[in-house]
């Protein structure tokens, strides 16, 4: 593991300590979990952008043309 010095405003540090205590974990564990969650969020957005870039409007239109023109099923209606 790597040690890292992070400077936090006193108010943020105090809140982190309170939340870590509430979850019965250390401040280090709390911060590691928070960083991991943020990392996952950013990586997910990157992945979705890459996947979206692979798409094409013509493919979308082709697949949409295969959907039958029928009324929505019960429960699938958009509310007014």
Nearest to 51 by CA among 41, 40, 61, 43: 43
Q: Angle at Cα 20 formed by Cα 32 and Cα 38, nearest 5°? A: 35
**What per-residue confidence (pLDDT) applies to 79?**
83
Predicted confidence (pLDDT) per residue in 24-67, tens digit: 999 999 999 999 999 999 999 999 999 999 999 999 999 999 99
Residue spans of the domains in the chain: they are 11-53
């Amino acid at each position: 593991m790597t040690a890292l010095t992070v400077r936090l405003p006193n108010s943020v540090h105090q809140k982190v300590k309170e939340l870590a205590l509430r979850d019965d974990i250390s401040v280090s564990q709390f911060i590691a979990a928070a960083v991991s969650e943020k990392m996952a969020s950013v990586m997910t957005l990157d992945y979705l952008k890459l996947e979206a870039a692979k798409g094409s409007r013509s493919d979308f239109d082709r697949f949409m043309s295969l959907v039958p023109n029928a009324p929505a099923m019960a429960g699938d209606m958009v509310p007014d």
